[in-house]
Structure 1
Amino acid sequence: MLLGSERLLASGRLNGLKVGILANPASVDHDYRHIVDQLAASDTFDLAAIFGPQHGFNSDLQDNMIETPHATDPKRGVPIFSLYSETREPTEEMLDLIDVLVIDLQDVGARIYTFIYTMANCLRAAAKTGTPVIVCDRPNPIGGVAVAGPMLEPGYESFVGQFPIPMRHGMTVAELAKLFNEHFEIDAPLETVTMEGWSRTDYFDDTDVPWIMPSPNMPTLETAIVYPGTVLFEGTMVSEGRGTTRPFELIGAPYLDAEALAARMNAHGLGGVYFRPVVFEPTFQKHAKTPCGGCQIHVTEREAFEPVIAGAALIRECYGLAPEQFAWREGPYEYEHDKMPIDILAGSPELREQVEAQVAVTDIAESWTTGVAEFSALRLPYLLY
């Protein structure tokens, strides 16, 4: 197969232009060559500016919600503009330096992953200045078929959710760019460069594209597969496994009984997954240096596994096992001060209220069906494969 970036660089489309690039360490080709290195080496166009998303251009900031400063690239002598700083949207002065902005970012298929909103912010800025934007497509690592989870409701927009889409959107980054730009009327001068040889049924390891961590706590494809559900634990004081070698696969807290939690989860009979009782000790973030009882999520059959249902069920059972000790995380969260982090992540207060009422897992999943069906129809005109 060919990535969008590989097709763009071979096309001659950038010849004679001053190019800006939004990228991070995962922006490599099949031979592990980084797109910035290839742009800088060209004698037919000029690399004029680098833009970095959350965690920085070098993806060197471990935790979330840590801003990255602007800098100058010491090797190439061009500015690096952080779009996860006091500047979330490129300024007119930044865009004045370039003729075209190329975006080459690896998404992970979940609504709350911020790279797609940095892309949306770039489209908004480009709409104001008329700067052409070229989005190079990459695989959705968890496939482009399944759509699942709660919808973002109006009033709960944030930097982890700008548009009313479900938690698992089943789209590629270029498809999302078209959806944002056309349906949600950003109206930037947008071009997309599709992949060749990618199928919607493909998971990342069905391709021959090298896996490079798109962010510090996304070490493996297995992480990405569970992430649309267990990222919800960022809205709780239960550890989502940050500070371990298995973030988002390990879930637990000091007060939880590992055997009891795993038994309750396995009793649901969720497809394609086994919950194994574990005790783990995070090295940083929540409950650092403290043993946590919990479970590890083992996906046994990807196509049958429903990560958002699994994540919601886990929160429900963590709450049900220890309602007096369980706590929702307090704000601020992603610059939102007035709403609870779990409501921002889930897209509304509904999931939190369902957990507190111990609504059956099947009923929680049923509450998403209308929104998922509507979005599944909405996205059809924007699918490229």
Structure 2
Amino acid sequence: MKYFILFITCLLFLSASLPEVRSAEPTRLPHAQAAAVGMNPQRLSEIDFVVERGLARDSMPGAVVLVGYKGKIVFLKAYGYRQVKPEKRAMTTDTVFDLASLTKPIATATSVMKLVEQGKLKLSDPVSKYIPEFAANGKQDITIYQLLTHQGGLIPDNSIKDYLDGPETAMQKIYDLKLYYKPGTRFAYTDVGFIILGDIVKRISGDSVHEFSQKNVFQPLGMQETGYLPADELKQRAATTQERDGHWMQGEVHDPRAYRLGGIAGHAGLFSTAEDLAVYAQMMLNQGSQNGTRVLKPETIDLMTRGYPVVDDIRGLGWDSLSRYSSNRGDLFSPRAFGHGGFTGTAIWMDPAQDLFVIFLSNRVHPDGKGSVNSLAGRIGTIAAAAITGQSAATAEVKVASKDSLDVLTGIDVLKREQFKSLNGKRIGLITNHTGLTREGESTVQVLNDAPQVQLKTLFSPEHGFAGKLDVSKIGDSTDAKTGLKVFSLYGKTRTPTPESLQDLDALVFDIQDIGARFYTYISTMGNAMRAAKQQGIKFIVLDRPNPINGIDYAGPVLDEGAQSFVGYHRIPVRHGMTAGELARMFNTEMQIGVDLQVIKLQNWKRDMYYDETGLTWVNPSPNMRSLNQAVLYPGIGLLETTNLSVGRGTDTPFEWIGAPWLKGMQLAEALNRSGLPGVRFVPVEFTPESSKFSGELCGGVNFIVTDREQFQPVQTGLEIAIQLRKQFPKKWETRNFNRLLGNQRVFDAVLQGESLMQIRSGYQQDLAEFGVRRARFLMY
């Protein structure tokens, strides 16, 4: 527990810091040149004052501080002594430090994520799958994810007596431990959990966490001074910690349990230098690659470092996250920052949004264990972030669209430019609607009908019809007036193309703009059509289009197994962060459809783009999806429309407000504004729908004002609204149909039972993290 207390205290101070990098290997710059990359040298020099004051107060005998910004080392300096007893030895920038709990993320969690990336384990796997003897005493259901996020039900530290008879006996006693609490119900920082993770690395790979991390992380990155059990030359440069058995520990692990385990453990034992750690930090900020060497995929870095609610805390996978501290109040760090601390007096923080990392290494436990560096390390992080010039450290990342970013080409644009080579000589059916347009506004129907050597034989339309104007439960077949082709409705008597409609076709082509939410039915139409194409033995081609609410963010509960329906086609979260083409690849593999699939990719689209950054013309995808703002809100607000609420259908601004004759808008708005949801404010309103639910009735309601699109979390917002509706209007709000679009019984029950948003989100984070692993296989951009 002492490690956890120290680390959290360090985090609270250090959280006023740090930003993202995608450049080459860090290059050391003279301090006077720091200004060339946008750092204020005078501000950085304040680090000297802070550290010198710490030395004067005996906070530690010495330290090394390194600051990296935009791929450059802008500050590197040694202070004080690496040893004061039995004689003094000066600290140098190449001093080797016992990293203590930095071992957890840098060696162990990175190794685990490498195994996840290789498909050798899943985050949702129970530990007992790899260590059967661990299942003793009710521990059979503890998962890898729960260990990585410190909510596996294990004691923080078992007795040191358990380690006195050697590593083999010590591990057996760990396997035999009883549960400390019910897994998944608490956050309790634990060394034991990471000892187990280190053991899992060995069970799967055959290599200890030391050997595995060397082969797969440190050696590929050229980190020659990082590892367990440092060699004699490195030991000579190591900072001394404390006395053990009559000798001073220098290059020998300080943690007593790691020492008894032979110096190699998942929770402690790693040694390194500041400049070696800078290489690792740069790799993390470069989304997994460094100096031409890729260690992890970008998707794995994102998965590892995003903030996961774990009951009343926020964690990354092995990392601590600053997400829970982010707000709109002007802090110095970004919500994307992550890091960790170590008991011996070490800390590392990285912020991808500002291209900044801060490394603080000390031997604060030397000579008597009484040193304390919490606030000192925190102030250094604050100074580093504040030294960034040209912006306040609180400034959100501002994306300036380049010319390329305004020239996004959709699948039909690319197909046309390539002279339809994928369709030449083929008889095709086209699944489309009014959103099937080229960049210049030409109809995909007309383009393919006019294309030489392409035989457009028939058309198919989804929900809302071929023209996208109908909001009815069933739509009949029709004829396209311009081409004379029959339009088979896939939202009428059948929602799947019939064998008769596919006769004499060589391929089915899909070109419809999705909206980015699981229950938007166009992707279900696509999945059904893929199955029909497989059964008919014809090819399926997706002309891809952007995810209008960006392709990075995915959120919300994953659909329960067995809950699949037309508004929940596959086990994906409410917001999936994928394009239609990527979803087609996922459906084809995971649902074992097995159709001959081709995706005509977008060009110039980047995953962080919203639709207004593509340069493409917005076309309402459906009658009540009339703006990008409504699309951004939809994954959260759409969840509520199966209940006795109006979500604004029948008004000019659907999904931008909710209401009901029984709802007191001021009461609900006050409660929601108090909740602290990021990037949104709530305004009480009254409105009268002209059609749909509560047509002609005056409704009290709440209007949603998105104040910061980058911070706004629509699914989180929708769930908080449900929580407050249940709390404020328990007898008025009807919940029996709420789970229809939510699709997750556990979350539905939690809302009814009055759990907090943090508790609810923590309940589905393991499934969401596992989706992140699944999703990564199918991403194309």
Does the 8 A contact of 1:49 with 1:97 survive in 2?
no
Measured after TM superposition, the shift of residue 348 of structure 1 is 2.3
Measured after TM superposition, the shift of residue 342 of structure 1 is 2.2
1:351 equivalent among 747, 755, 760: 747
The correspondence of residues 1-385 of structure 1 with structure 2, limited to 5 A, is 1-11=408-418, 12-13=420-421, 14-63=423-472, 66-328=473-735, 341-385=737-781
Alpha-carbon separation, structure 2, partners of 1:235 and 1:324: 17
* CA deviation vs aligned residue, 1:5-51 (integer Å, no higher than 9, x gap): 11112323222222211111111111111101212223432221110
Alpha-carbon separation, structure 1, partners of 2:763 and 2:444: 42
TM-score with structure 2 setting the length: 0.47
SS at match of 2:738: helix
SS at match of 1:290: coil
Question: Which amino acid in 2 is paired with 1:46?
Answer: Q
Does the 8 A contact of 2:747 with 2:763 survive in 1?
no
Question: Which amino acid in 2 is paired with 1:206?
Answer: E
Alpha-carbon separation, structure 2, partners of 1:297 and 1:9: 40
Does the 8 A contact of 1:256 with 1:321 survive in 2?
no
Measured after TM superposition, the shift of residue 277 of structure 1 is 1.1
Deviates more, 1:244-253 or 1:14-23: 14-23
Alpha-carbon separation, structure 2, partners of 1:279 and 1:141: 29
Alpha-carbon separation, structure 2, partners of 1:255 and 1:341: 18
Question: Which amino acid in 2 is paired with 1:36?
Answer: V
Does the 8 A contact of 2:551 with 2:608 survive in 1?
yes
Alpha-carbon separation, structure 2, partners of 1:319 and 1:238: 13
Alpha-carbon separation, structure 1, partners of 2:532 and 2:483: 25
SS at match of 1:371: helix
Alpha-carbon separation, structure 1, partners of 2:705 and 2:542: 34
Measured after TM superposition, the shift of residue 74 of structure 1 is 2.8
TM-score with structure 1 setting the length: 0.94
Measured after TM superposition, the shift of residue 204 of structure 1 is 0.5
Alpha-carbon separation, structure 2, partners of 1:110 and 1:166: 8
* CA deviation vs aligned residue, 1:333-371 (integer Å, no higher than 9, x gap): xxxxxxx54222111223332222221122122222111
- Aligned identity (percent) is 40
Change (3 A) 1:304 1:262: same
Alpha-carbon separation, structure 2, partners of 1:83 and 1:61: 13
Question: Which amino acid in 2 is paired with 1:166?
Answer: P
1:332 corresponds to? none
1:331 corresponds to? none
Q: Which consecutive residues of structure 1, in runs of 5 or more, have no partner in the other structure?
A: 329-339
Measured after TM superposition, the shift of residue 77 of structure 1 is 1.6
- Aligned-pair RMSD on alpha carbons? 1.3
Does the 8 A contact of 2:661 with 2:698 survive in 1?
yes
Deviates more, 1:363-372 or 1:223-232: 363-372
Question: Which amino acid in 2 is paired with 1:2?
Answer: L
Alpha-carbon separation, structure 2, partners of 1:45 and 1:356: 55
* CA radius of gyration, larger in: 2
Q: Which consecutive residues of structure 2, in runs of 5 or more, have no partner in the other structure?
A: 1-407
* CA deviation vs aligned residue, 1:100-130 (integer Å, no higher than 9, x gap): 1110111111111110010000110111111
Does the 8 A contact of 1:148 with 1:368 survive in 2?
no
Measured after TM superposition, the shift of residue 189 of structure 1 is 0.8
Alpha-carbon separation, structure 1, partners of 2:760 and 2:685: 26
State how many pairs are aligned: 372
SS at match of 1:49: strand
1:335 corresponds to? none
Question: Which amino acid in 1 is paired with 2:749?
Answer: E
Alpha-carbon separation, structure 1, partners of 2:417 and 2:728: 56
Deviates more, 1:316-325 or 1:21-30: 316-325
Does the 8 A contact of 1:157 with 1:344 survive in 2?
no
Alpha-carbon separation, structure 1, partners of 2:737 and 2:505: 37
Measured after TM superposition, the shift of residue 191 of structure 1 is 0.4
Alpha-carbon separation, structure 1, partners of 2:765 and 2:677: 17
